[in-house]
Amino acid sequence: MLVQGGAGGVGSFAVQIARALGAERFEDQVADVDVVFDAVGGETQSRSWAVLRPGGTLVSIVQPPDPGATADATARGVFFVVQPDRAGLEAITELIDNGRLAPAVDRVVPLSETRAAYEALAREHRRGKIVLHAGEGG
């Protein structure tokens, strides 16, 4: 499984879930991929078709995949919108409880620095989420 945008919030969870389910690292598998999980879109999504195996699937949470972008008529694209269900949430809870799934946190800032944290979203590349701490001193 190849996850485009694996450093973002959703993508980082997708990478961890794939690892927990036994997926190989991208560096070890750069062709004939069963599934590409796209959290980037645009040109990255278009290039992702080329790494799919025949019959593979490109899943995007950003934009509907363009099936005309692949020469392989057996590959398919899926636009995925989250629809949580009890069984899926329980499976994720088990991964969290077993320490196999954790959120990617870039930094924790006091609530008093909310404005600066929000502004950082527009100008900085982060590895994970910015968390606001509302406790004492925040």
Hey, what long-range contacts does 82-88 have (CB within 8 A, 24 or more apart)?
Answer: none
pLDDT: is 112 or 8 the higher one? 112
pLDDT digits (tens, 9 = 90+) for 77-135: 999 988 889 999 999 999 999 999 998 899 999 999 999 999 988 887 788 889 999 98
Domain boundaries, the chain: 2-97, 104-138
CATH code reported for the domain at 2-97 = 3.40.50.720
Does the pLDDT value for residue 138 go beyond 50?
A: no
pLDDT: is 6 or 30 the higher one? 6
Claim: this prediction has a pTM higher than 0.85: no
CA distance 57 to 74: 9
CA distance 69 to 48: 10
pLDDT digits (tens, 9 = 90+) for 12-56: 888 888 888 888 855 565 789 999 999 888 888 988 898 899 999
Residues near 59 by beta carbon (within 8 Å), at least 6 away in sequence: 35, 36, 37, 38, 65, 77, 78, 80
CA distance 103 to 14: 11
Does the pLDDT value for residue 137 go beyond 60?
A: no
Q: What is the DSSP letter of 136?
A: T
- Owner of token pair 């692949």: 70
pLDDT score of 26: 54
CA distance 50 to 70: 7
Contact 68, 58 (CB under 8 A): no
